Each structure stands twice: as structure tokens, then as C-alpha cells.
Amino acid sequence: MATEQRASGPMRSAAFRFALLLAAVFAIGAAALLVIVQHQIGRYAAEATNGGLKAESAVLAGEYAQLGRQGLIDAMVRHAGVSRDAQYRYLLLGGDGAHLFGDLPRTVARNGWSSVDVTEPAREPGGPTRETFTTLGKPLPGGLTLVVGTDNYDVQRMRARLSRFTLLSGLGIALFALLGGYLTGRLFLRRLDQVNRAVDRIVEGDRAERLPTIGFGPEFDELSHNLNRMLDRNAAAMEALRQVSTDIAHDLRTPLSRLHQRLEQMQDSPVVEPAMIDDALAQTAGILSTFQALLRIGSLEGGIGRKRFTRVDLSELMDRIHQAYAPVAEDAGQSYLADHAQGVVVEGDGELLAQLFTNLVENAIVHTPAGSTITSRLFIAGGVPVAELCDTGPGIPPGERANVFRRFYRLDASRNTEGSGLGLALVAAIAALHGAECSILDREAGLAVRIAFPANEQVPQTKGHSQAATN
């Protein structure tokens, strides 16, 4: 079933909402920056203006002290004529209030700081403008009053330009963030839609489908990878369950039919002999054993058991198996030799690994005639722990070697011996669980099974061998 509802567009995506939040943050930051800069500029301009007025007043007062009233007027004429747009404007009044020099209004003729609005000729298109002048009045000897003033036109123009620049920059950054969020949202939704479609196919039963990578960062790709690993594990478990069901349906039909016939014979017989009961119980035990082996193989192929992995001393484990089965091989008229490097350690489940090598040894003892030699080897090849079990028995034809690890597979020559054909299948399942490669080597005579475990940094670089033989 397809997903019922998906986001209708990039405007509703998380990426766009995040970009909208960033745009709001940028706008607030631009406004705060404008307020701070405006305050700092105003403060700096006021300090610079006051300092300039004090310095100009002091210079003119010095001119008056040295050159008198006419020298003061000449100095103000020189200062006012430096440029068409002079920095300072002046007002000089006599002791009787007569106007001696300057174009500032008489309203500023007072001592100390003051301000006045003055209509100035147009500096830019648009007609005359009203400007605010800051003034400083200073009394001079002889009853004169000197007033020096300067306008704030340049400061106000700089503030206006800064305000426009900050506003436009803030709007530009916000629009850029929104556009980036919109485009990112579209791209993200497009790739997310691919993921959703893959999920739809998985829900509809396509077990081979896997999630594509989103590509927006390693964390998203890692999420897709982990989800695909989970799907692989679930698919392996489902396939193992399906295979177990198929094997039970096809390969247990014959022993169940035999058991059914035996029970019918017991039902029809007036006297049930103990041998018949024993035979039925033996068949039941064999069927139960087969069921247990199938279930264990299925659970192993589904990946169950890795949580119990620890460091296993493979040398000590194989030595114990050799000691336990050497007398069994001797009773069967066979020789069981061991050549094990010491200190070989692998990551795995000790019980399962013991089951693996036990199955190999029992298989060799059952299917080789008296006088055969069975050899167990453990060594390091290229930093990889390798275990081999070889025998000098009849071996397996090359054309049949690919099938020996299948469930219930038995050679024609082995159908009269005990067993269910699950021993080597269990070996292959345990090896696969441990990431080991299970293979059959080419030999002129006999059989050689090799188990190559994954490389382990703890393996020894030199080999110390222990060898034992039972004749």
C-alpha cells in the first residue's frame, strides 16, 4: 500500500521552514546591527563636532588676542573662504549687540552650547533644505561675543546611506536564504520521494528493494545504510524460514510416511512387540533431531547468535575435539592426527564453533573406511586463521562438491549410512555466521574441507605446533 499523503511542495518542507527561520534571524540581526551602528555613529559624530567647535573657537580667540578685532574678522573670512561649502559658520557681535561678521542667526548669540535650524541652499536637486547647526558661544574681551557653528549634513547623509545599505543587505540576505531554502527543499523532497517510493515497494512485498542514499550528508547516508542492513537481515531471516518450511515439506515426507506405516502395523497387530515400539521411537527421535537441525540452520542463516560472540581460543578448542574423538576414530580402525598452531584466537561463539568441527570430524569418521587417516590442521596464512580437516577416504566427485553444503544432500554411496544430510549444511551456516569462507579443496584422493576465518589482529605471527596421532 502506498503512503497515504506526502508533502505537497517545498514550501511545506522542513528545509524551507528552517531557511525561513534563518531569514528571520538575519533580519533581526540586521535591524539590531543598524541600531547599534547608528548609535555609535551618532555618538562619534557628536564628540567630533564638539571637539572641532572647541578647537575652532580656541584658534579664533587666539587670533583676537594677538591681532585684535580686525584680525579676528580676517581670520574668519579666511576660514569661511576655504571652500564653497565651508565646515564652520560664524557670528560676531559687538559689545553693543551690533553685527560685525557672520551669517548665523542672532538667536544663537549666547554663551555655551546651542542648536538652531537654518535654511540652506539646495545641495542636491529638490530645493532648499532645513539643516540643524550645533553652535558654541564664547565671550571675548571688550564685550564681543563669538559664536562658531557647524551643520550635521554629512553625518545625516552617512546615516541615511547606512540605513539604506543595511536594509537592502538584510532584505537581500533574507531573500537569498528563502530562495536557498526553497531550492534545497525541492531537492530534498525529490530525493525523499525516491526513498518513500522504495518504502512503498518494500511494503508491497518487494524484498529485494533497498533504500537509496539521500546524499545530504553522511548522517543521512548512514541512516539509509543502517536501514538497508536491517532489511537485509530481515530478508535473510524470512528466506531462512521459507527454506526451512520447504525442506520440511519435501524432505521429511518419507520418514513421516514410514512412521505412519509403522504405527498402522502396530494398530493392526494383535500383539505389539517391544521391538516395533523401539523402532517407532527411534524414527520419532530421528525426525525430532532433523527438526532441531533445520531450525538451528534457519536461525543461523538469519543472523541469530552474533550477540554472543567473544574471543575464542581456536587452538584450544580444536585440541579438545581431537582428544575427544581420537578414541572414536581408533575404535573405527582409523588414524586421527592433529597439527594445530597455538594461540590462534578468533571472534565467535565457542559452542557453535565446537559444533562445526565436531560435525566435520563425525562426517569424516562415518564416511571413510577403516585404515583411513583423518588430519586436523590449524595455521595462519597471510594473517588469516585457517582450519582444515582432511581424510584419505573415497572423497567427493568434483561435480558433486558444490552440492554437499545443501540441506538433505547425500551422495548415493552414503544413503545407506545413518544421518539426515544436514551435518555439512550446519557447518556452512555456522561458518557464514562467523564471516568465514567454507570450501572444499582439490585433492587426488580423499576430502579436504577448509574454513578460512576473517583476518584477526590477535593472530600469532609464528606457529607453534602440537601433533598427536592415534594408530
Task: State the architecture of 307-468 in CATH terms.
Answer: 2-Layer Sandwich (3.30)
4-8, 158-162, 340-344: least confidently modelled range: 4-8
In the structure grid, which three cell numbers stand for residue 72, read together? 579676528
More reliable by pLDDT, 91 or 177: 91
Assess contact for 247 and 408: CB atoms under 8 A: yes
Query: What is the predicted pLDDT for the residue at 282?
Result: 72
Over residues 131-160, the mean pLDDT reads 85
For 468, other C-beta atoms within 10 Å of its C-beta total: 14
More reliable by pLDDT, 225 or 9: 225
Average pLDDT, the chain: 77
* Whether the predicted pLDDT of 19 surpasses 50: yes
Over residues 137-161, the mean pLDDT reads 84
Mind listing the pLDDT tens digit for each residue in 59-74?
A: 999 988 898 989 988 8
Burial class (CB in 10 A: 0-12, 13-18, 19+), 369: exposed
Over residues 427-446, the mean pLDDT reads 83
Q: Please, which pLDDT band fits residue 139 given cuts at 50, 70 and 90?
A: very high
Query: Of 370, 357, 376, nearest to 423 (Cα)?
Result: 357
* Whether the predicted pLDDT of 414 surpasses 50: no
Q: Please, which pLDDT band fits residue 213 given cuts at 50, 70 and 90?
A: confident
In the structure grid, which three cell numbers stand for residue 148, read together? 562658531
Over residues 318-342, the mean pLDDT reads 93
In the structure grid, which three cell numbers stand for residue 462, read together? 609464528
Query: What is the predicted pLDDT for the residue at 22?
Result: 72
Q: What percent of the chain has pLDDT over 90?
A: 16
Over residues 116-141, the mean pLDDT reads 75
Q: How far apart are CA 413 and CA 419, in angstroms?
A: 13
Residues whose CB falls within 8 Å of the CB of residue 53, separated by 6 or more in sequence, listed in order: 88, 134, 135, 136, 148, 149, 150
Query: What is the predicted pLDDT for the residue at 291?
Result: 62
Q: How far apart are CA 271 and CA 461, in angstroms?
A: 69
Q: What is the DSSP string of 89-154?
A: EEEEE-TTS-EEEE-S-GGG-SSEEEEEEEEE--SSSSS-EEEEEEEEEEEETTTEEEEEEEE-HH
More reliable by pLDDT, 468 or 375: 375
* Whether the predicted pLDDT of 240 surpasses 70: no
Assess contact for 262 and 273: CB atoms under 8 A: no
Containing 16, the helix (H) or strand (E) segment is: helix 14-80
Q: Please, which pLDDT band fits residue 309 given cuts at 50, 70 and 90?
A: confident
More reliable by pLDDT, 25 or 88: 88
User: Does the pTM of the predicted model rise above 0.85?
Assistant: no
Query: What is the predicted pLDDT for the residue at 464?
Result: 44
| Strands (DSSP E) found in 331-456 | 335-341, 345-348, 373-381, 384-391, 437-440, 447-452
Q: How far apart are CA 167 and CA 30, in angstroms?
A: 7
Mind listing the pLDDT tens digit for each residue in 254-289?
A: 667 777 777 877 777 777 777 777 777 776 776 666
Query: What is the predicted pLDDT for the residue at 330?
Result: 93
Residues whose CB falls within 8 Å of the CB of residue 72, separated by 6 or more in sequence, listed in order: 60, 63, 64, 92, 140, 146
Q: Please, which pLDDT band fits residue 344 given cuts at 50, 70 and 90?
A: very high
* Whether the predicted pLDDT of 435 surpasses 70: yes
Facing residues of 379 across strands? Answer: 386
Over residues 297-308, the mean pLDDT reads 61
More reliable by pLDDT, 11 or 309: 309
* Whether the predicted pLDDT of 83 surpasses 70: no
* Whether the predicted pLDDT of 5 surpasses 80: no
Radius of gyration of the chain (CA): 50
Q: How far apart are CA 241 and CA 234, in angstroms?
A: 11
Query: What is the predicted pLDDT for the residue at 304?
Result: 58
Mind listing the pLDDT tens digit for each residue in 152-204?
A: 777 777 777 877 887 787 777 777 777 777 777 777 777 778 888 888 888 88
Q: Please, which pLDDT band fits residue 79 given cuts at 50, 70 and 90?
A: confident
